[in-house]
Amino acid sequence: MARINLLPWREQLREERKQRFILALGAVLAGAVGLVFLGGQYLEGSIEGQNARNDFIRKEIAVLDARIAEIKELRERRQQLLERMKIIQDLQGNRPIIARMFDQMVRTLPDGVYFTDLKMDGKTVSIVGAAESNNRVSNLMRNLDASEWLESPNLNEVKAVTSGAVDQANVFQLTVQQTQPGAEDAGDKQ
């Protein structure tokens, strides 16, 4: 039996549908490839932009770190200068006190007594001197105790030294504390 297709238009329609399907499939595939390409380009651009921002931030952080180091150095210098200024102010403030103390030491010095060595350590003044007699050393200690700038005289040593047949001197060592008149009043008020 012979096969005869009486409806050739169905076959032709099937072929047209097949071609449209392949064409649509190719278009979808081309669109998908295009979208993937565009998505990749977008992501790559975003990554490059973020890397550029990160580099900028790193540079700014380096600049700020340098500024912070400079600020720390300036603070250290400032602290050193403040310490120096405080020392200078203390010295300036103590200058009249020391002059006043030396004035008081001269005023308390009786006749026949002289100092050979003075040393000051903090508020303690060490005195080495010579006197004609022990009474003159006693007078010196009474005068030091009566002074408002000096207090608590403490005699450490007295030696009789004969330098010749006629001259005799008593060499002494004593310590005395420096004070400031009115310092106790200021401490009581606070």
Q: Judge contact between 170 and 134, C-beta under 8 A.
A: yes
The angle, 0 to 180 degrees and rounded to 10, between the axes of the packed helices 8-108 and 134-146 is 130
Token digits of residue 14: 């099937």
Please check the confidence at residue 55 and state whether its pLDDT lies above 90. Answer: yes
Residue 67 lies in a domain: yes
Is pLDDT above 70 for 176?
Answer: yes
In the chain, % of residues over pLDDT 70: 88
pLDDT at 138: 86
* Residue 2 belongs to some domain of the structure: no
Same domain, 117 and 88: no
Tens digits of per-residue pLDDT, 121-173?
878 889 898 888 888 888 888 888 888 888 888 888 888 777 654 566 788 89
CATH code of the domain covering residue 117? 3.30.1360
Are 22 and 45 in the same domain? yes
CB atoms closer than 10 angstroms to residue 144: 23
Last residue in a domain, options 74, 108, 142: 108
Tokens for 91?
A: 């010295």
Alpha carbon 28 to chain centroid, angstroms: 71
The pLDDT of residue 175 is above 80: yes
Q: Which domain holds residue 173?
A: 112-189
Structure pTM? 0.48
Question: pLDDT tens-digit profile of 24-48?
Answer: 999 999 999 999 999 999 999 999 9
Residue 19: pLDDT band with limits 50, 70, 90: very high
- 62 pLDDT tier (thresholds 50, 70, 90): very high
Contact (CB, 8 A) for 130 and 114: yes
